[in-house]
Every structure is written in structure tokens, then in C-alpha cells.
């Protein structure tokens, strides 16, 4: 009796067998699928046809292949762009389920399925000699006593950071591992995170991505990485150990080290599109396997791609094949790589099945019922190029709250209202409460990777993106004054003092608001990008952390803010609270500077710039924020603390003083003072 193992259609991708690997590829339109294996001493290619087919899955065993084998796919079928068919066996395709990738695409014409001179004509030039290969990976890893921190959302403080930029210039990280997964796992890197007090790192994209040819031609690079092609593979350029599967082990070691320090790992994932672009883009993977299953095509013009991402294509989340790919990827990163959550780039695109965003879409429904994803953090960027959906995701999701960013910035530079600011400070009940969602559904931020850093936000009224090679026409304009230039003080020393206060005002508002705060990595150091507010293409000193130019005072101020948040339950509520008039000890109380309640008109008065906000909770210290965004000092009537006297906890004004039994307090212009009562 033969003991030869049979080929199976599941799992998709490569799975190890004795003396062979099982390969399974989904395609409803292919006529034949071959596995191209590069395992000879001269790198010669041998092809093995996947001779079995179950439903729409081609599968078969590839003999004499195993851990370390380099391979790609050759998919045969019709080339009819007008019908959405783009098969081209001359192109070596990446297995969508590949766990590791060796090499990078150069995006020469041979990597395109069509001819540049005639996009309707098939390009039969073979790219097998130059295209990157997938690598068969050993899944074994000693996780030891690794445990997910499982930090509750109410206690979470997120630190958005780039794997490379964080340690590329860190003097205490060995040079050979700077800018890598191992660099982020180094004790010096972890010590900064733990001493700061954050609980989670949110890593900019680490899925294998492609360098854009138009950037490379200008001597630039896709630094942020929002150009994914391999949804299971850690990006190989961030590996210090090698690209032959070593990147997988190094990533796991990073997660294990971060977990040991109590830090969660959240991945910024880009499932809304891929690096294959539109009808003029390269043929790297999905486009050549089953174009219409994986991408949304224009209904009446299937040679064109339906694009709500601004990148040329959108994944076809109405098709089971694309959903299968996304869900398998998510589960893999949780079960095999031990990550703790995901931030979904342009998540609204993933909810568009028939065109409109749908809270009951298949993607969201699958996430809700999945037992693996039920225990991790799910964070949406709730918009895409076709719509803004803040507040529109289900209760189990948190969202990047763009309203928080906009309203907080507006208030502190003199354009907002007390009513809008109070909504953001209290967890945005105007956005989430009516749908029975919680304050922790709001991920609050004032800066993120996309835009000015905190330091630049308070230093520049105009963007300075000249290094990006687009004549400073890229990136959003932001020319509203921060009262640090022509409209404010003219003395250089006073301008500097005002900038410092504004940075502290923004950080104080962020870290003492209800919801989940997210800090842009480096803001606590006063990291500057020289006014570049669109540094996506700057893999250089413009984007990397400059550890020799740290604002130590701002760093210490940020540490104290996070520590204050951590020790004060009144700031970490998971429910919306009333104003205390019902006698509840859990309350948020807003008052005018004179201690009187705000009127309806004052809430929306753009000229009203000062008020106090008290956070109280039974069994917790009370926090009182005295907020003054006016250009003159304001005297506050301090309310009765109902307990021990108020003490000074923090102030964006380093000269703020508080007496033993304070009843009134003068808060200088553009300042926030925080009082604490045990």
C-alpha cells in the first residue's frame, strides 16, 4: 500500500509534508498553474504543475522541496484585459500566502504583464531571473512563556512608530541591528517605551511591500510602506538576520521581547489595496492569478479598476477569495506571530461591497464572529477617498477619531469652540453615545505619521515638502497660525516659550481625555521633520529619530502625563458620565472660569477661550483641568475639591504656582493647568 501523502486544497499556499510541500492556489479563471522552484546550485528553475483541482483550487505536491525552498507561481490562462483577464505565464508571481520573500522588485518593464507601448498587448518577456521569490519557512519557534499583555482599552496608550526610523540612529542600539525588528527589540529601545509609559506600539506597515518605481527614479523610497504585496510576510528590509526566512524568526523574537516588557504589538495593515496598481501597474501576484476575484473592476469596463484608495485599485471584499486571503492573514498574525491587534488603513474601503460603506458588510461580519480576532484590538481608519465614516463602525471596533485631531487643533490655535473641545475631552459622546458605543471606541490623536509632527505643527504655518520632488505640491496645506509668528509675539524667546506651551497643551489634552490616546512616536522628544508634512518618501534623516536632539523637558513632561493618566481612574472611564447633578460620584463637570455653569450660547461662542473641566470617579482622585486658550491671563475660581485640597499635578506653564488652599488661580495665556485632589 502506498504511503505517499495526498495533495489537499487547504490550507492555501505552502504547507510542509514529508519530503515535499503541498501547494494550493485559488483561481476561478486560470487554465493551468505551475510552481516554479529555484533550488539548483545554479539557481535554475524547475516547474511542477499543480495537477489536481478541487473546486477553484489548484493543488499538488512539489517533491524535494521544504524549508528554505525558493519558489514562485506561473499561471496560465487567457489574456483579455477587456474582460478582466490578465494571465501571463511569463511573469513569476508571488504566492499570496507566502510567509517570507527574498529580494525586491525593480519594476522594470519585464515585471509588467502588458507592454508599456500598448497596454492591451501581453508582454511575453520572462522576468523569472530577476523577480523576488517566496521562501518556504519553518513555522517552529520557541515562544517559551510568552503571554499577550491583554491591556484593557481603557488603560491603553498607543505609540505609533516606524520599525526602521525608531532605531536607525539610536546610539545605544548596535549598528548592525539598527532599523530592524531586532533593533526595536533591543533593551535600549524597549527601555524608552517602558519609561515613557506607553502600553502598545502601533507599527507602520510591516507586510512585505514594493518600492515605487517613480520614487526610486528620483532617489527616494517608499518609507511608510503603504504599498503591500505580501499579507503574510514580514517586510524583508527590516530584517538584520537575512531574507531567507530569518525575517520571520526575527519578527517573532521582537514580539516576544516586547511582550516580556508588557508592551502590546499592533500592526497597521493595508488590506484595502495592493502594490499592483491600476491597469497600467505591474503584474506581481493577484492580478495574474485571478484578477476579477481579488480586485474590484469597473462593472461596465472590466479592464479598469474601481478605486476608493487613491492607489489605483481596491480589493474585492465582496468576493470570497479576497475575504479568504484577508481573514487567513489576520488569523496568521495573531496565532503564529502573536500580535495583539490591527489598525486597518482606509478601513471604510473594506466595508464597500456594492459601492456604499456598509456596517453589515461581509468583512465586518466575519471579524465579529471569528474566535481568533474576538480577543484582539481592532482599530479602523474610518474613511477612504470616497467617504468619511467616523462613528460608523460596529461596537467591537475602535476608530481613529479624526474629529478629535481637528477640534483639538482648532481650539488651541483660536478657531474652535469650548463645546467641541469638551466633546473630545469626554470621549466624543456626540459621535459614539447614541449608538451605545463606549469612550474607548475613540482613538484620540493630534498628530500621526501623515502630517506634521507635534514640534513642526507649532513651528510651521506652511508645509516644506521640497525634498519630496513635487515642488511642495504634495501633502495637505495647513496655513493656520499658531500665534507663534506674525499674529503673535515677536520676541524670539517668548515665541519659543509659547511653542513649548502649545506642545504641552496638545499633549495634555490628548493624554487627559477620555478614550484611547495615541502618540506619534517622537513627539515626546520634539522630533522635527523640518516642516515636511508628507514624509512618506523620506527614508532619511528627515524621518528618522534624532536621538541627539531630544527635548528632555518635554520627554519628562510626557512621562508625567502618562503616569498621571495611569494612576487616575477618573480619566479612564469605559462609560459616558453625567454632569454630577444627579448626585453620582462618577461625573464630568464643566464650568466657566468664574465657577458658574456654561450657558448654551457660551458652548458655541468662538470667542470663549477659558473653562474648567473636572473628572471625578468614586474611589479615584479627581482631576481638574483649567484651560486657557486666550491671549491673556485668566483668573479661575477653583471649585471645592470635596476631599483633600487641590495640588498642582501638571501645567504647560512651567512658572505656574499653586498655594496650599487654592480658591482662585491665575492661568497665563495659552496654558493648561491640572490640579489633583485625592
DSSP 325-366: HHHHHHHHHHHTT---EEEETTGGGGGBSSSSB-TT-HHHHH
Cell triple for 433: 453615545
Phi and psi angles of residue 309, each rounded to the nearest 5 degrees, phi first: -115, -15
Q: Residue 207: beta bridge partners? A: 234
The arithmetic mean of pLDDT across residues 66-84, rounded, is 98
Q: Do 464 and 472 meet the contact criterion of CB atoms below 8 Å apart?
A: yes
Decide: 624 and 646 in contact? Cβ < 8 Å.
Answer: yes
pLDDT at 1: 42
Long-range contact set of residues 664-667: C-beta below 8 Å, sequence gap at least 24: 664/635, 664/636, 664/637, 664/638, 665/626, 665/635, 665/636, 665/638, 666/633, 666/634, 666/635, 666/636, 667/610, 667/626, 667/628, 667/633, 667/634, 667/635, 667/636
- Three-class DSSP category at 57: strand
Query: Apex CA 657: angle with CA 655 and CA 661, to 5°?
Result: 175
Q: In whole angstroms, give the CA distance from residue 653 to residue 634.
A: 13
* 598-607: pLDDT as tens digits: 998 999 999 9
pLDDT at 486: 47
Q: What is the pLDDT of residues 227-242, one digit of tens each?
A: 999 999 999 999 999 9
Q: Please say if the pLDDT value at position 399 is more than 80.
A: yes
Mean pLDDT of 36-65: 94
DSSP secondary structure letter of residue 460: -
pLDDT, position 555: 98
C-alpha cell, 405: 485631531
User: If 0-12 CB within 10 Å is exposed, 13-18 middle and 19+ buried, where does residue 144 land?
Assistant: exposed
Residue 632, C-alpha cell as written in the block: 491673556
Give pLDDT, residue 360: 81
pLDDT at 558 over 80: yes
* pLDDT (tens digit per residue) in 161-211: 999 999 999 999 999 999 999 999 999 999 999 999 999 999 999 999 999
Whole-angstrom CA distances from 669 to 31, 200, 612, 652, 673 are 72, 34, 15, 10, 11
Q: Which residues are catalytic?
A: 345, 381
Query: How is residue 640 annotated by DSSP?
Result: P
**Confidence (pTM):** 0.97
Query: Taking every pair of C-alpha atoms in the chain, what is the biggest distance, in angstroms?
Result: 92
Cell of 38: 529555484
Q: Say whether pLDDT at 657 is over 90.
A: no
Cβ–Cβ under 8 Å, residues 283 and 116: no
Q: And the C-alpha cell for 615?
A: 473628572
Distance in angstroms (rounded) separating the CA atoms of residues 282 and 585? 61
Residue 639 or residue 324, greater confidence: 324
Its CATH class, for the domain covering 13-135, is mainly beta
Q: Which residues contact 616 (CB under 8 A, 6 or more apart)?
A: 570, 580, 585, 586, 587, 588, 589, 622
pLDDT for position 479: 54
Confidence category of residue 427, pLDDT binned at 50, 70, 90:
very high
Give, for 13, the enclosing helix (H) or strand (E). Answer: strand 13-17
Residue 212, pLDDT > 90, answer yes
Could you tell me the CA-to-CA distances from 351 to 267, 290, 653 in Å, in that order?
19, 21, 45
Checking if the pLDDT of 33 tops 90, the result is yes
pLDDT at 478: 67
Q: Which of 561, 414, 432 is nearest to 487 (CA)?
A: 414
Pairing, β 45-49 against β 118-122: unpaired
N residues, the chain: 678
Contacts of 390 (CB under 8 A, 6+ apart): 382, 383, 399, 401, 402, 403, 431
* pLDDT cut 90: percent of the chain above it: 87
Residue 556 neighbours by CB under 8 Å, 6+ apart: none
Note the pLDDT of residue 483: 65
Contact 636, 667 (CB under 8 A): yes
Lowest mean pLDDT among 329-343, 497-511, 657-671: 657-671
Angle at 351 (CA atoms; ends 400, 85), nearest 5 degrees? 130
Residues of the chain with CATH 2.60.40.1180: 574-677
Distance CA 542, CA 422 (A): 35
Task: Assign domain 574-677 to a CATH class.
Answer: mainly beta
In this predicted structure, the answer to whether residue 19 has a pLDDT above a threshold of 90 is yes
Q: How confident is the model at residue 584 (pLDDT cuts 50, 70, 90)?
A: confident
Least Cα distance to 105 among 246, 284, 238, 227 occurs for 284
Alpha helix stretches (DSSP H) within 131-180: 163-167
H or E element, residue 505? helix 492-511
140's CB contacts (< 8 A; 6+ apart) are none
Average pLDDT over residues 329-352: 96
Distance CA 366, CA 528 (A): 41
pLDDT of residue 526: 98
**Sign (positive or negative) of CA dihedral 331, 335, 337, 343:** positive
Give the whole-angstrom CA distance, residue 73 versus residue 284.
Answer: 10
Pairing of β 647-651 and β 671-677: antiparallel
List, in order, residues 6 or more apart from 250 with CB less than 8 Å away.
180, 181, 182, 234, 239, 240, 241
Question: pLDDT over 70 for what percent of the chain?
Answer: 98
Question: What is the residue-averaged pLDDT of the chain?
Answer: 94
pLDDT in tens, 250-283: 999 999 999 999 999 999 999 999 999 999 999 9
Residues of the chain with CATH 2.60.40.10: 13-135
Compute how many other C-beta atoms are within 10 angstroms of the C-beta atom of residue 529: 23
Per-residue cell: 272: 484595502
Q: Which of 266, 577, 613 is nearest to 439 (CA)?
A: 577
Answer for the pair 338, 146: CB distance below 8 angstroms, yes or no.
Answer: yes
166-180, 193-207, 342-356, 401-415: lowest mean pLDDT where? 342-356
Q: What is the pLDDT of residue 3?
A: 53
Amino acid at each position: 500500500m502506498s504511503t505517499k501523502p495526498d495533495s489537499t486544497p487547504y490550507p492555501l499556499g505552502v504547507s510542509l509534508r514529508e519530503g515535499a510541500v503541498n501547494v494550493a492556489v485559488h483561481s476561478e479563471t486560470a487554465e493551468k498553474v505551475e510552481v516554479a522552484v529555484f533550488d539548483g546550485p545554479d539557481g535554475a528553475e524547475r516547474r511542477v504543475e499543480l495537477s489536481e483541482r478541487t473546486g477553484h483550487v489548484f493543488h499538488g505536491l512539489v517533491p524535494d522541496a521544504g524549508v528554505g525552498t525558493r519558489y514562485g507561481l506561473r499561471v496560465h490562462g487567457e489574456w483579455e484585459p477587456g474582460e478582466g483577464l490578465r494571465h501571463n505565464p511569463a511573469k513569476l508571481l508571488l504566492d499570496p500566502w507566502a510567509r517570507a520573500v527574498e529580494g525586491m522588485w525593480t519594476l522594470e518593464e519585464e515585471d509588467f504583464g502588458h507592454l508599456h507601448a500598448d497596454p492591451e498587448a501581453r508582454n511575453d518577456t520572462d522576468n523569472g531571473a530577476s523577480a523576488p521569490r517566496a521562501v518556504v519557512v519553518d513555522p517552529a519557534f520557541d515562544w517559551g512563556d510568552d503571554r499577550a499583555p491583554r491591556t484593557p482599552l481603557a488603560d491603553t496608550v498607543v505609540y505609533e512608530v516606524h520599525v526602521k526610523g525608531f532605531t536607525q540612529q539610536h546610539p545605544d542600539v548596535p549598528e548592525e541591528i539598527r532599523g530592524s525588528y531586532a533593533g526595536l527589540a533591543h533593551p535600549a529601545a524597549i527601555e524608552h517605551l517602558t519609561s515613557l509609559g506607553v502600553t502598545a506600539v502601533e507599527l507602520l506597515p510591516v507586510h512585505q511591500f514594493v518600492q515605487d518605481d517613480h520614487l526610486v527614479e528620483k532617489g527616494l523610497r517608499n518609507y511608510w510602506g503603504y504599498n503591500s504585496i505580501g499579507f503574510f510576510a514580514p517586510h524583508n528590509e527590516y530584517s538584520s538576520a537575512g531574507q531567507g526566512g530569518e525575517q520571520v524568526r526575527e519578527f517573532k523574537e521582537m514580539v516576544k521581547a516586547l511582550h516580556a516588557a508588557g508592551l502590546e504589538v499592533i500592526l497597521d495593515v493595508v488590506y484595502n489595496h495592493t502594490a499592483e496598481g491600476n491597469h497600467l501597474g505591474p503584474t506581481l501576484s493577484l492580478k495574474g492569478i485571478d484578477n476579477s476575484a481579488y480586485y474590484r473592476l469597473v462593472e461596465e469596463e472590466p479592464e479598469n479598476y474601481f478605486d476608493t484608495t487613491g492607489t489605483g485599485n481596491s480589493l474585492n471584499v465582496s468576493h470570497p477569495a479576497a475575504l479568504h486571503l484577508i481573514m487567513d492573514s489576520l488569523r496568521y498574525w495573531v496565532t503564529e506571530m502573536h500580535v495583539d491587534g490591527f489598525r486597518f488603513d482606509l478601513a471604510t474601503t473594506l466595508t464597500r461591497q456594492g459601492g456604499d460603506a456598509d456596517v453589515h458588510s461581509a468583512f465586518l461580519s466575519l471579524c465579529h464572529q471569528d474566535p481568533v480576532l474576538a480577543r484582539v484590538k481592532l482599530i479602523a481608519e474610518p474613511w477612504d477617498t470616497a467617504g468619511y465614516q467616523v462613528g460608523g463602525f460596529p461596537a467591537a471596533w475602535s476608530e481613529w477619531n479624526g474629529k478629535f485631531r481637528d477640534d483639538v487643533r482648532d481650539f488651541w490655535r483660536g478657531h474652535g469652540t469650548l463645546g467641541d473641545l469638551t466633546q473630545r475631552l469626554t470621549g466624543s459622546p456626540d459621535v459614539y453615545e447614541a449608538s451605545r458605543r463606549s469612550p474607548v471606541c475613540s482613538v484620540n490623536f493630534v498628530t500621526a505619521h501623515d502630517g506634521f509632527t507635534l514640534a513642526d505643527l507649532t513651528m510651521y504655518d506652511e508645509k516644506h515638502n521640497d525634498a519630496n520632488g513635487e515642488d511642495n505640491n504634495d501633502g495637505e496645506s495647513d496655513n493656520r497660525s499658531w500665534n507663534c509668528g506674525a499674529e503673535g509675539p515677536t520676541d524670539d524667546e517668548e515665541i519659543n516659550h509659547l511653542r513649548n506651551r502649545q506642545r504641552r497643551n496638545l499633549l495634555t489634552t490628548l493624554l487627559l481625555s477620555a478614550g484611547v490616546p495615541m502618540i506619534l512616536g517622537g513627539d515626546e522628544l520634539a522630533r522635527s521633520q523640518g516642516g515636511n508634512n508628507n514624509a512618506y518618501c523620506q527614508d532619511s534623516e528627515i524621518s528618522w529619530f534624532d536621538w541627539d536632539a531630544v527635548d528632555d523637558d518635554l520627554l519628562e513632561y510626557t512621562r508625567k502625563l502618562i503616569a498621571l493618566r495611569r494612576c487616575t481612574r477618573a480619566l479612564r472611564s469605559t462609560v459616558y458620565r453625567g454632569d454630577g447633578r444627579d448626585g453620582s460620584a462618577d461625573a464630568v463637570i464643566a464650568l466657566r472660569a468664574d465657577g458658574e455653569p456654561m450657558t448654551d450660547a457660551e458652548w458655541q461662542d468662538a470667542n470663549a477661550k477659558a473653562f474648567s473641566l473636572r473628572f471625578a470617579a468614586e474611589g479615584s482622585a479627581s482631576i481638574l483641568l483649567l484651560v486657557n486658550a486666550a491671549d491673556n491671563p485668566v483668573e479661575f475660581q477653583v471649585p471645592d475639591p470635596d476631599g483633600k485640597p487641590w495640588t498642582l499635578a501638571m501645567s504647560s506653564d512651567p512658572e505656574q504656582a499653586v498655594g496650599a488652599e487654592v480658591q482662585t488661580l491665575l492661568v497665563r495665556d495659552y496654558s493648561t493647568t491640572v490640579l489633583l485632589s485625592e
